[in-house]
Structure 1
Amino acid sequence: MKRKKKTGIWIIILLLAVGVAVVFGGTTKTKKNAEVIIEEGSGSREIAKRLKEEGVIESQLAFLVRLKFSEYSGKLQYGTYEVKNGMSMNQLFKMLATEGAKENTINLTVPEGYTAEMIGARLEEKGVCTKKAFLEAASTKEGYDFEWLSDIEEKEGKKYILQGYLYPDTYNIYKTASPKEIITLMLENFEKHYKEIETDQSMDRIVILASVIERETSVPSERVTIAGVIENRIKKDMRLQIDPTALYPLTDGMYDKKKVTYDDLKIDSPYNTYRNKGLPVGPICNPSVDCMKAAANPEKHEYLYYHTKSADSKEHEFFKTYKEHINSQK
């Protein structure tokens, strides 16, 4: 009986040793360079999950166990972090505990496809500045030190000259930040992402087309296909007839109208592609770099029409002829 008890104890010890080895061996160093955004109110588990999703750590459990036994347990903060590949867990804990959001700051999240009008409304809700002040700052190139701003065309009827260039992301900003300071951060972010685009087209055209793609589909795989449809229709001198281009002026950039009527599509605006040929006069939202890439590399095909597969579907069906397009809806 004594031998059996000793054997049982050794098995338990062995299992514990294996468990410790697995946990502590699961994450010893960070795995990649990454910008990681930790939202306000995130606990240790949410932070570990976020780091895992970003590919920074290998094991959430290992991260949490190591954190529990470190001097930084319970001290991690929200904020935006630049994680470097090969950091030790202790270095990562220290950064998350000491380099987070500064005092008197807020996180401003700008989703992909948001407009300047939506951003202004969100800033007003957070008490940073008025929507009006933000839109005034987005209506001019004055006061912003970026050479590429000269490439943005100033056309009659364009609402906000910097619409399309306020890059969607989460920003940690001071509560006292001015609209120009906030916009400068967004323009810097746009500049960084636009370097990924390879094209012979003008930047302004790419951003306008990308903004239409952004509002037209939420399915990533469809972006290049829709870009191709738009280019095909332009080549054939057809109106694009894309609903968001009418909704943008109709809703003053808020896109808060759920049902679109035929009368809505008649709105007299240089943005409305039901009334005007070619692309809108300017961007109808602020697009992601993925939509800009789609605009720069449209899919080659013969489609000229598309519609959603069903009333509650986000996916589209594509057609080469108007007859196919109409028959598919019967």
Structure 2
Amino acid sequence: MNLKKGILLIISLLFIIGGFLTYNYHSKIYKANTIKEGDLFIPTSSEFSDVENLVRPFLKRVKPFIWVAHKKNYPNTIKPGKYKITKGMSNNDLVNLLRSGKQTPVKLSFNNQDTFEKLAGRISQQIEADSISLLNSFNDASFIEENGFSKNTALGMYIPNTYEFYWNTSADSFRKKMLNEYDSFWNNTRLKKAKTLNLSKNEVITLASIVQKETASVGERPVVAGLYLNRLRDKWPLQADPTIIFALKRNLGEDTIIKRVLKKDLDINSPYNTYKNRGLPPGPIAMPDISSIDAVLNATKHNYYYMCASVTNIGTHEFAKTLSQHNKNAFKYQVWLNKQGVNR
């Protein structure tokens, strides 16, 4: 009788131990272990120790995660990127996500980046690639030439918008996608409109950059574009103040603040001086957004040849068909500037 009791006791203990081990094993793998949601960024070339430190703030218990990760051979299959962590994930769910490489794309956006230096800085804040590698990629002379650009027009390849990228996108991969987006942007409809204007893609973007710098009013841009197209058609100099400001900043520094173009500025020796030089400058003076590009392609047809900033509707312009009318508008504006104390 005592022997039977002993055997039953041993069997019971084995069941209890077995149950405990099974529960412990199951808990390590399937029990919820993430305590908050957020984005986990795993840099390229990370080792498992790096991932362990990065994921630690999301975990209630770190050791079970490490155990599951090793069981699933994750340390040998680390994939960089941005991963969305949700609260209540098990170690099994988490390791499977990281092993799969199923990243959450980032919404990358840029506009008004007037130089490659500014663009590289803006992009490096949103993906893994650093600003130096991006800048080197942007300035790659072979790439620029192979794709129909020059040093002066290359900025026009980057169409301001919001795009989806994987966080660990390299500089060259970013550039490649931007070229694809540029090609997609220039669909048959836009190409036909450019041809009707007798302008190349680079010329449209160059003119659009002047239109954008001339007016912040999106509704006014087609009118401004039409005015410049009238001047180009009739072989008049554009006489666009934004090109003078661009030329001055090239000499004085990008951070120079110029609120007023002076008469002496019009003598600056630069291919971007559209008072001295007829036609379009060598390339864009800014990064035009889509509204400015489409304003050129869909410019308003009219007989305006002159414009001057309005003193009654700030942010817009007074348009004129004749020089005499323009001179009246310009006089009002000069008086207004003097009253405002704007000397430069």
TM-score (structure 1 length as normaliser)? 0.57
Name the structure 2 match of 1:186: 178
The range that moved more, 169-178 or 302-311, is 169-178
Deviation per CA, 1:86-111: give whole Å up to 9, x if none.
Answer: xxxxxxxxxxxxx8745xxx654312
Instruction: State the distance in 2 between where 1:266 and 1:311 align.
Output: 30
Query: What is the match of residue 226 of structure 1?
Result: 224
Residue 288 of structure 2: aligned partner: 287
Supply the distance in 2 between the matched residues of 1:185 and 1:208 (Cα, whole angstroms): 22
- The SS at the match of 1:224 is helix
- Counterpart CA distance in 2 for 1:183 and 1:265 is 36
One-letter identity of the residue aligned with 1:166: Y
Q: Which runs of 5+ in 2 are unaligned?
A: 1-37, 40-84, 88-101, 333-344
The residue that corresponds to 2:202 in the other structure is 204
Structure 1 distance, partners of 2:238, 2:203, is: 15
Does the 8 A contact of 2:157 with 2:178 survive in 1? yes
What is the CA–CA distance in structure 2 between the aligned matches of 1:227 and 1:276, rounded to whole Å? 18
Q: Flag the 1:161–1:231 CA change in 2: closer, same or farther, 3 A.
A: closer
Deviation per CA, 1:8-60: give whole Å up to 9, x if none. Answer: xxxxxxxxxxxxxxxxxxxxxxxxxxxxxxxx99xxxxxxxxxxxxxxxxxxx
Query: What is the match of residue 270 of structure 1?
Result: 271
Aligned residue number for residue 110 of structure 2: 110
Aligned residues of 1:229 and 1:305 also touching (Cα < 8 A): yes
Match of 1:235 in 2: 233
Contact 1:114 1:168 in 2 (8 A): no
Secondary structure of 1:109's aligned partner: strand
- The alignment covers a number of residue pairs equal to 226
Aligned residue identity for 1:183? R
Q: CA RMSD in A?
A: 3.6
Which residue in 2 is equivalent to 1:315? Answer: 316
Taking a change above 3 Å as real, the CA distance of residues 272 and 118 of structure 1, as seen in their structure-2 partners, is farther
Cα distance change, pair 301–295 in 1 and its aligned pair in 2 (3 A): same
Q: Which residue of 2 aligns with 1:53?
A: none
CA positional deviation for 1:256: 5.5
1:119 to partner: Cα distance: 0.7
Deviations 1:265-311 (A, max 9, x none): 44322122123111111122222333222222322211111122129
> Aligned in 2, Cα 1:249/1:175: closer, same or farther, shift over 3 Å?
farther
Could you give the per-residue CA deviations for residues 151-208 of structure 1, whole angstroms, max 9, x where no partner exists? Answer: x4x4xxxx44411111112345556544332222222222222215132132222121
Q: Which residue of 1 aligns with 2:156?
A: 164
Distance change in 2, residues 1:167/1:247 (3 Å): same
Q: How does 1:1-330 map to 2 (within 5 A)?
A: 101-102=104-105, 108-112=108-112, 114-123=114-123, 128-130=129-131, 133-140=133-140, 142-143=142-143, 149-150=147-148, 152=149, 154=150, 159-173=151-165, 177-195=169-187, 196-197=189-190, 198-199=192-193, 200=195, 201-252=199-250, 254=254, 257-262=257-262, 263-310=264-311, 313-328=314-329, 329-330=331-332
Q: Which amino acid aligns with 1:209?
A: L
What 5-or-longer segments of structure 1 have no aligned partner? 1-39, 42-73, 77-98
CA distance in 1 between counterparts of 2:295 and 2:305 reads 17
- Decide which structure has greater helix share: 2
- Give per-residue Cα distances to partners, 1:199-223, cap 9 Å, x unaligned: 2132222121122212222212212
Which amino acid counterpart does residue 243 of structure 2 have in structure 1? T
Q: Deviations over 1:130-162 (max 9, x none)?
A: 35x544433346348x98x33x4x4xxxx4441
The 1:130/1:276 distance shift into structure 2, 3 A limit, reads same
Moved more, 287-296 or 250-259: 250-259
CA distance in structure 2 between the aligned counterparts of 1:312 and 1:115, rounded to whole angstroms: 31
Q: Secondary structure at the match of 1:186?
A: helix
Alpha-carbon separation, structure 2, partners of 1:228 and 1:255: 31
Deviates further, 227-236 or 284-293? 284-293
Secondary structure of the residue that 1:239 maps to in structure 2?
coil
Q: TM-score, normalised by structure 2?
A: 0.55
CA contact (8 A) 2:245 2:258 kept: no
Question: Per-residue CA shift, 1:51-74, capped at 9, x if unaligned?
Answer: xxxxxxxxxxxxxxxxxxxxxxx9
Moved more, 114-123 or 214-223: 114-123
